Structure 1
Amino acid sequence: MSQDTIKATLIVDKSFVIAEVDKRIYGSFIEHLGRAVYGGIYEPGHSTSDIHGFRGDVKSLVRELNVPIIRYPGGNFVSGYNWEDGVGPVEDRARRLELAWRTIEPNEVGTNEFMNWAKEVGSEVMMAVNLGTRGVDAARNLLEYCNHPGGTYWSDLRRKHGVEQPHQIKTWCLGNEMDGPWQIGQKTAVEYGRLAYETGKAMRLVDPSIELVSCGSSSSAMPTFPEWEAVTLDHTYDVADFVSLHQYYGNRDKDTANFLARSMDLEHFINTVTSTCDYIKAKKRSKKTMYLSFDEWNVWYHSNESDTKIEPWTVGPPQLEDQYNFEDALLIGSMLITFLRHADRVKMACLAQLVNVIAPIMTEAGGTAWKQTIFYPYLHTSLYGRGVSLQPIVNSPKYDAQDYTDVPYLDSAIVYNEEADELTIFAVNRHLEAGMLLKCDVRGFEGYTLIEHIVLQHDDLLAVNTAQEEKVKPAKATGTVCKDGFVETLVSKASWNVIRLGKGSLN
C-alpha cells in the first residue's frame, strides 16, 4: 500500500435489514419557475416536441432516470396559484402576474397537461395545494376535479375538458414552506397546523384513499426548527401521513472537504425530525408512525452567486440555473446514500428540480438537452437502489472538517434486490488525495459474482458538463475482484462508485 492509499472495510449481511426502499425516494420536482416548464419540458416548435408542445428529448432523459414521482406545481409558486386558471381551453386561460418569482404565468401548461406528460414519462404526481392565498375550499375542489369519477360539478368539468377518467392522484402536499417569510400567505405554526388539519380532513372526505404531506420547516437552519414540526404535527398528526423536509447545500467557502461532509448535517436533520415525530406520537398515544418526505433537496448556490438580473414580468426567464461541477455530484451521491440508510423513515424524496432549474437535465432553446454531473448518481441509485436497504458495517479512516468531526472517508449504502438476485454497494470516497483499498465481506451472498463496478471520477473537482462536452461521465472500473466471499477494489480518490454483484457474470 502506497502513502497515497488508505484502507477501509465493509461488512454486508442479509440480516442487517433497515427497511424496504420506497421507490419514491428517487422522485423529483417540477415547479412553474424559470425554464422548468416553459423552455424545459414544454417548448412548442422544438424539433423533438410532440403535438402538445412537450419536448421529446427531455422526455427521453426523464424516462432514463426512471423517476417514480414528481412534485407539482410548486414550490413557492403554489402559494399564489389558482388551479382553475390551468384547466379548460388554453385559449381561454388567463395570464397572471406570478408573484413568487415575479414572472408572467401564461397557464399554457396546467393540471391536465402535466398529468398527461407525467404519464408519458412513467411518473406519478405529488400534487401540492395552495394554503397561502387559499385553503379548504380550493383544495377539496381540486381533489374532486382530479380524482372523483363523475356526476358532480368539478368532476364533470374535468370530463368536459376532455379527461374522462379521473387522474387518481394519490399523494398531496398541504402547502409549501409555510414558515418562510418569503412565502405568500406565511403562517405561524398554529395557523398552519389548524388550516392544514381542516384542509386534510375535508380532502379525506372527498377521497379517503389519498396520502397527505404536512409542511415541515423550510430548512434545518430556520430559527423555529424543530419547534415548527412539534407544533404543526400536534395539529396534523392524525390526518397526515408524512412530514416534509427541505434542504440545500453549497460550497461558498470553496472548502471541499467540509462540503463533502454536509451529508452528516443531513443525517442529523433526519434524526431530529424523526425524534420530533416520535415525540408527538408518544404525546398522542398514537399507533401511527409518521414518515418523512424529503420533497426538496439538492446542491444550490451557484446561481445565487450570479450577478445576472432577470427582467421581471416575462415568461420562462432563465432562473436558478446552477451549472453543477464534479464535487457537487459527489455530495449528491452521499445525500442519496443517507436517504438509503434511513429507508425506514424516509419514504419519499424529490430532487429539486428536474429540468433547467437547479436540475440534472438542461436544455438549450431550440437546441439540445444534456446531462449535468449530478445526473449520474441520481440515475445509478434510481436504477440499482431498489430493494431492501441493508445496514453497512463500516471501518474507515476519518477526518475533521471545518464544521464536522470524525467524518468517515468511506460513505456507503447497501441495497439487496432479492427478486433480481442482485446486491449493490454504493460508495463515495471523500478523500481528496488518496485512493482507498476497500475490502467488502459479502460471504452471506454465496455464489454472487461481480456484474460491474461503475465509477464517476474526475481529477478536476470543478469540472462541468455542457451541451458541447460531457467531461464528467461514468466509466467501468477495472481491477475489482469478487472471490471467496470478498470484494476487493481500489476506489479512486474523490469518487462515486456503484459495485453490482449478482448471480450473473462479469461484464
Structure 2
Amino acid sequence: MSQARVTVDPSYIVGPINRRLFGSFIEHMGRAVYTGIYEPGHPTADEEGFRQDVIELVRELGVTGIRYPGGNFVSGFQWRDSIGPKDQRPRRLDLAWRSTETNQVGLHEFASWVRKVGGELMYAVNLGTADTKDALDVVEYANVAKGSTLSEERITNGQPDPFGIRMWYLGNEMDGPWQVGHSSADDYGKKASRTAKALRQLDPEVELVASGSSHPTMPTFPTWDRVVLEHAYDDVDYISCHGYYEEKNRDLGSFLASPVKMDRYLDVVIATADHVKALKRSDKTLNISFDEWNVWYLGDNLRSFPRQADRFYRTDEIEGDDWPEAPRLAEDVYSVADAVVVGGLLISLLRHADRVTSAAMSMLVNVIAPITTEPGGPAWRQTTYYPFAVTSRLAVGVALDVRVDSGQYETDELGSVPLVDAGATYDAGSGRAAVFLVNRSLTDSLTVTVDLAKLGNVSVLETQMISDTDVYARNTKDALDRVTLQPNTTAQYDDGALTVTLPPVSWTAVALG
C-alpha cells in the first residue's frame, strides 16, 4: 500500500468560493427541457407541468446559477418565440440539434422553474443570427420595471416584477465553425464590445460574459481569446471557458488525469486575460466563467464504449426530413470512473477559485447530465450527481492552496502526473473545513496523511466516498441505486493529523469541524 501526504493550512488562501461555482446549464437540446424538467401529465407534474421529482433532485444537488437557453441552440433562437400565450407560439426548426422546438417552455416558464429549485437564472443572448438590438430588447423585456413597450408587454404576459437577470452571456462558442453565425475573433470582439456597451447603458447592473474559445483544442486557442479581449476587455466582466473530457482508446489512466488538463487550460486563459490587462494598462482583473464542463463521450469514441451507447444518438444519424421533438440526444450513462473524474474537476475549479468565480456543469437533466428521467417514469441520480452534490454542500468559505506529496504515474496523454489529487476549503466563521481526495491509481489503495495541525482541534464530522470494485458500474432505470455514496470508514483524526485510505479509482470527501 502506497503513502501520500497532504498539508492543509488555513492561511494559504486561493480565494473566496463564489456560490456561482456550483452552477449548471439547461439548453433546449435533446430531452433536457421536454420530458426532462417539463412533462405535463407526468404523475409528479405540478400545475405548470414541471416534474416535481426532478425539482427535488435539483434542490438536493445544490445547484446555484443556471445558464439558459443555450448553448449552440441560442445562435438560432428568436427570444420572442418563447413569450406570450403558449397556443400562439411558433414551432421552429432548430439547426443546432436538428430538432423541432415547440417553445412551450420559454423565459417566463423557465424563470418560474428556477425559482422553484432555488437557483439564479443566467441568460445567453443570440449573437449568431441576431444582433445588438435583439440583445437590448430581451434585456429591456426582462429587467426594466415598467413604462416601456417591452416592459409593459412582460407585465401583460403575467410577470409584474422584472426578472432581474444579472448575468448575461454574449453569444456562445462563436469561434466554432459548427455555430450558426460563426464569425472571426475580430468581428465577434467588436460585436461583443458594442453590445456590452449598449446593455450597460440600459442596465448598469448587468454582468457580462464574452465568448472565449469553445475548447482548448481549437486551432485558434488562445489567439481567439486574446483578440476578443483586445476589443472587449473594458466592457465585460468574464471570459468564458468550455471543456469536455472523456476516456479515449480505453486509456483510463489519462482520463483520470483530466483535472490536470483543466488546470493547464485555465492557466493559459488566465495568462491570456492578464496579458491583455497589461497591454491596456487596466486596473481591472477579468474573471473566468467556466460555463460548460463535464464528461462527454463524443463522436466515434462513443462506439468503443457500448456501455454508453444504449441511450445516445447523434444529430448526423437523424435521416431525411425528420426534425423530431425532444430526441434522445447525448444521454451518456456515467460510471464510477466518470464520477471520480467529475470530483477531480471540481477540485480543479476550487484550485482556481480566485479567478473562476462562475461555472456551469453541462448539463443538468438527461443530456450529459447528473440527473436522468424516463417519460412517465422515474428520475434518478447518475454517478456524477454525488461528487457535485457533496462538494456544493461542503465547500464553503475559502478555497485553500493545498500541498500534495505523492507518487507519480505515467500517462500516454499527459506524461507523469500525481497519483493523488486534493483540495480543501475552510470557513473561518463556523470553523468548518472540508478535504477532497482522489486516488488515480488503477490497482492500489493509498493511505493519505493530511496535516491539519494549523486548523486547531477538529474532529471528523462525516465522510463520503465514490468507489466500486467495478470502475464502470453505473446507475440505470433497471438499477437506480447500483452506485451510491458510502462512508470511508478508514478516516481517523489524531493529534492534528487525518489518515484515510483511498481505494483505487476513488473520490473521498471529509468534513471537519
Note whether the superposition's TM-score is higher than 0.5. Answer: yes
Instruction: State the distance in 2 between where 1:294 and 1:250 align.
Output: 17
Instruction: State the distance in 2 between where 1:217 and 1:479 align.
Output: 43
Instruction: State the distance in 1 between where 2:86 and 2:73 align.
Output: 20
Task: Please say if residues 193 and 233 of structure 1, whose CA atoms lie closer than 8 Å, have aligned partners that are also in contact.
Answer: yes
Query: Of 351, 354, 358, which aligns to 2:364?
Result: 354
The DSSP-based 3-state class of the residue aligned with 2:460 is strand
Per the alignment, residue 291 of structure 1 pairs with: 287
The DSSP-based 3-state class of the residue aligned with 2:455 is coil
Per the alignment, residue 99 of structure 2 pairs with: 103
Query: Of 411, 436, 446, which aligns to 2:446?
Result: 436
How far apart are residue 490 of structure 1 and its match?
Answer: 1.4
Instruction: State the distance in 2 between where 1:63 and 1:420 align.
Output: 23
1:200 partner letter: A
Per the alignment, residue 508 of structure 2 pairs with: 497
1:346 partner letter: V
Aligned length: 498
Per the alignment, residue 505 of structure 1 pairs with: none
Per the alignment, residue 341 of structure 2 pairs with: 331
Task: Please say if residues 266 and 338 of structure 1, whose CA atoms lie closer than 8 Å, have aligned partners that are also in contact.
Answer: yes
Query: Of 144, 150, 153, which aligns to 2:140?
Result: 144
Task: Please say if residues 361 and 371 of structure 1, whose CA atoms lie closer than 8 Å, have aligned partners that are also in contact.
Answer: yes
Normalized against structure 2, the TM-score is what?
0.96
Instruction: State the distance in 2 between where 1:479 and 1:114 align.
Output: 44
1:466 partner letter: T
1:314 partner letter: P
Query: Of 85, 102, 113, which aligns to 2:109?
Result: 113
Say if 2:237 is the partner of 1:236: no
The DSSP-based 3-state class of the residue aligned with 1:293 is strand
Task: Please say if residues 63 and 121 of structure 1, whose CA atoms lie closer than 8 Å, have aligned partners that are also in contact.
Answer: yes
Instruction: State the distance in 1 between where 2:120 and 2:89 align.
Output: 25
Instruction: State the distance in 2 between where 1:51 and 1:398 align.
Output: 55
1:317 partner letter: P
How far apart are residue 385 of structure 1 and its match?
Answer: 1.1
Query: Of 389, 410, 425, which aligns to 1:415?
Result: 425
Query: Of 370, 384, 390, which aligns to 1:380?
Result: 390
Instruction: State the distance in 1 between where 2:284 and 2:339 align.
Output: 36
User: Within 5 A, what are the aligned runs for 1:4-23?
Assistant: 5-23=1-19
Task: Please say if residues 302 and 322 of structure 1, whose CA atoms lie closer than 8 Å, have aligned partners that are also in contact.
Answer: no
Instruction: State the distance in 1 between where 2:407 and 2:466 align.
Output: 22
Q: 1:110-131: per-residue Cα shift (whole Å, max 9, x none)?
A: 0010001001100001100000
Per the alignment, residue 405 of structure 2 pairs with: 395
User: Within 5 A, what are the aligned runs for 1:312-331?
Assistant: 312-331=322-341
1:111 partner letter: L
1:426 partner letter: F
Per the alignment, residue 76 of structure 1 pairs with: 72
How far apart are residue 405 of structure 1 and its match?
Answer: 2.4
Instruction: State the distance in 2 between where 1:388 and 1:49 align.
Output: 38
Instruction: State the distance in 1 between where 2:486 and 2:413 align.
Output: 33
Q: 1:123-150: per-residue Cα shift (whole Å, max 9, x none)?
A: 0011000000001001001000000000
Task: Please say if residues 451 and 501 of structure 1, whose CA atoms lie closer than 8 Å, have aligned partners that are also in contact.
Answer: yes
User: Within 5 A, what are the aligned runs for 1:134-213?
Assistant: 134-213=130-209
How far apart are residue 406 of structure 1 and its match?
Answer: 2.6
The DSSP-based 3-state class of the residue aligned with 1:412 is strand
How far apart are residue 454 of structure 1 and its match?
Answer: 1.2
How far apart are residue 420 of structure 1 and its match?
Answer: 2.8
The DSSP-based 3-state class of the residue aligned with 1:476 is coil
Per the alignment, residue 376 of structure 2 pairs with: 366
Instruction: State the distance in 2 between where 1:226 and 1:434 align.
Output: 38
How far apart are residue 302 of structure 1 and its match?
Answer: 6.1
The DSSP-based 3-state class of the residue aligned with 2:235 is coil
Task: Please say if residues 341 and 389 of structure 1, whose CA atoms lie closer than 8 Å, have aligned partners that are also in contact.
Answer: yes
Per the alignment, residue 479 of structure 1 pairs with: 490
Q: Unpaired runs of 5+ in structure 1? A: 503-507
Taking only the aligned residue pairs, the percentage that are identical comes to 45
How far apart are residue 432 of structure 1 and its match?
Answer: 1.1
Task: Please say if residues 242 and 292 of structure 1, whose CA atoms lie closer than 8 Å, have aligned partners that are also in contact.
Answer: yes
Normalized against structure 1, the TM-score is what?
0.97
The DSSP-based 3-state class of the residue aligned with 1:415 is strand
Per the alignment, residue 306 of structure 2 pairs with: none
Per the alignment, residue 33 of structure 1 pairs with: 29
1:488 partner letter: T
Task: Please say if residues 310 and 317 of structure 1, whose CA atoms lie closer than 8 Å, have aligned partners that are also in contact.
Answer: no
Per the alignment, residue 426 of structure 1 pairs with: 436
How far apart are residue 252 of structure 1 and its match?
Answer: 2.5
Per the alignment, residue 125 of structure 2 pairs with: 129
**Aligned-pair RMSD on alpha carbons?**
1.1
How far apart are residue 471 of structure 1 and its match?
Answer: 1.6
1:487 partner letter: L
Task: Please say if residues 72 and 172 of structure 2, whose CA atoms lie closer than 8 Å, have aligned partners that are also in contact.
Answer: yes
Task: Please say if residues 248 and 255 of structure 2, whose CA atoms lie closer than 8 Å, have aligned partners that are also in contact.
Answer: no
Say if 2:296 is the partner of 1:300: yes
The DSSP-based 3-state class of the residue aligned with 2:234 is coil
Q: 1:207-246: per-residue Cα shift (whole Å, max 9, x none)?
A: 0001000000010000000000000000110110000000
Task: Please say if residues 210 and 240 of structure 2, whose CA atoms lie closer than 8 Å, have aligned partners that are also in contact.
Answer: yes
2:217 partner letter: A
How far apart are residue 476 of structure 1 and its match?
Answer: 1.2
Task: Please say if residues 19 and 343 of structure 1, whose CA atoms lie closer than 8 Å, have aligned partners that are also in contact.
Answer: yes
2:384 partner letter: I
Q: Which moved more, 1:286-295 or 1:437-446?
A: 437-446
Instruction: State the distance in 2 between where 1:489 and 1:116 align.
Output: 44
The DSSP-based 3-state class of the residue aligned with 1:406 is strand
Q: Unpaired runs of 5+ in structure 2? A: 304-308
Q: Which moved more, 1:294-303 or 1:184-193?
A: 294-303
